Structure 1
């Protein structure tokens, strides 16, 4: 997703339609609720790793007297973000290309920096947080949210294998799977004082009476048609036949009346 000067960190899942289906589901309400209490109408916010811009556009609506800048390292996705913002009539925002390891902004530029599901895809989350902290004004905040783990009931062998493969892909790419559980450590290493760190957690919870069918059908497609498939096979941990079994298991799980699938996310607010 992001590039450190001289070194690439590959985004494990790519940006095909099955991946963007997941990203476009995210909103301020379901992905940034922990950040909202800190937002004031005149804030200047940077959204790092903004993807297709739906969260970015939602944040812009909360700062009518301020502005939001969305940043990503994939130009095609930035084009989609601009189109999405335009469709919503939101004008107090801009989208720029850039790396989280070398933000192209002066020190003390923003009131807040937000990053959603970014650190887990990086080989050096601490360095990224240091750079986010650099561009925040004194007294401003860095707010990040990252996945810690997948949980599901009833247990199935295939979905357990999916979880193992997911982690292995990230390990092999030199990323940081489960980064959401390490946010306090990263923040301390990035220079946030202990008294200026607030760590919380919240889930995405998909149930048979909620969004379980959407979540499972999305992953049933994604394990076979996104970069996940190619990267999973490259690990040597799985086969095409097993990925088909995992895809089928997701499809079956979507119909389970007792089905419950949760993504637990860690959340950090660090004040400079």
Structure 2
């Protein structure tokens, strides 16, 4: 059975999980939402703390949503969120996405968000996602492109952070610029280009939200899995990380802050089984 070989370099420090828990269908799956039906059966791959998963459940009141993640501990937070929102049509399971434990054609929609950049075989996971999606259903993915991040004011410390992020992501077996290669991965997975819609959207932070982003990364730079990988792989020292953290803190105090996080989205309509070439 396939098993994930890459390291999830972000880790699950509270600064990471809290940031992920702010994500919603509105800001992370708007390209997919218009296609959802109230009776859909949805699989959310790499669901983390479950905020997007819970939103899906609210949008398919007569359907069912399954959120899966490789890390059991983060699923406890997802279950608590679903309970707080009194959602009865959602469940969570610890699963390795390289070998989804579901029969062929089990779901109407299969979705993953910011997952493929962290795995060793993104093409294989896309194939698995398509395998468990019903003919006529949708496979959707959204991936950031760290090489396309933009910010203002300029900061040498943030530039150094970007260099370290690229290095540690590659050293962990992932692809930090996944957004720009996501369409190629989809094609290699057998997603016919004529059946695949490709779009780009961004998280664009200004004002207080940009300050929160800066303060969050100031903490992650020294506390999260990012810091651990940088040191263990010999990519930087504790002093380097402290300098990056200070740079984020200083940046977050400036006026007219701007930070843009672009992500590429693919939306693949699974054709009838008789016409699916793979």
- Secondary structure of 2:236's match? coil
Bigger shift: residues 68-77 or 234-243 = 234-243
- Cα distance in 1 between the residues matched to 2:163 and 2:232: 14
SS at match of 2:145: strand
User: 1: CA distance between counterparts of 2:3 and 2:140?
Assistant: 27
Please name the residue that 1:181 is paired with.
180
Structure-2 residue corresponding to 1:190? 189
Q: Distance in 1 between matches of 2:226 and 2:18?
A: 14
The alignment's C-alpha RMSD in Å is: 1.2
- Distance in 2, matches of 1:223 and 1:68, equals 34
Is the aligned partner of 1:96 residue 2:76? no
Instruction: Give deviations 1:130-172, integer Å, cap 9, x for gaps.
Output: 0000000011111111101221112211101111111111111
CA distance in 1, matches of 2:194, 2:81: 38
Question: Per-residue CA shift, 1:174-205, capped at 9, x if unaligned?
Answer: 11211111111011111111111111011111
Identify unmatched segments of 5+ residues in structure 2: 271-278
Distance in 2 separating the partners of 1:197 and 1:156: 38
Q: Does 1:123 align with 2:120?
A: yes
Structure 1 residues 100-111: aligned runs within 5 Å: 100-111=97-108
Give the number of aligned pairs.
268
- TM superposition shift of 1:29: 1.1
Which sections of structure 1, spanning at least 5 residues, go unmatched? none
Q: Distance in 1 between matches of 2:139 and 2:232?
A: 35
Q: Verify the 8 A CA contact 1:207 1:261 in the aligned structure 2.
A: yes
Find the aligned partners of 2:3 and 2:174 in 1 and give their Cα distance: 16
Look up the SS of the partner of 1:258 in the other structure. Answer: coil
> For the residues of structure 1 that align with 2:101 and 2:40, how far apart are their CA atoms?
19
**Match in the other structure for 2:61:** 64
Contact 1:68-1:92 within 8 A present in 2 as well? yes
- Say which SS state the counterpart of residue 215 (structure 1) adopts: helix
Distance 2:92 2:4 in 1: 23
Which TM-score applies when normalising by structure 1?
0.96
Partner residue in 1 for 2:242: 244
The residue that corresponds to 1:157 in the other structure is 156
- Find the residue that maps to 1:101 and give its secondary structure: helix
Q: How does 1:1-272 map to 2 (within 5 A)?
A: 5-149=2-146, 150-208=149-207, 210-272=208-270
CA distance in 1, matches of 2:32, 2:128: 19
Query: 2: CA distance between counterparts of 1:213 and 1:154?
Result: 12
Q: Counterparts of 1:260 and 1:6 in 2: how far apart (Å)? A: 39
| SS of equivalent to 1:71 | strand
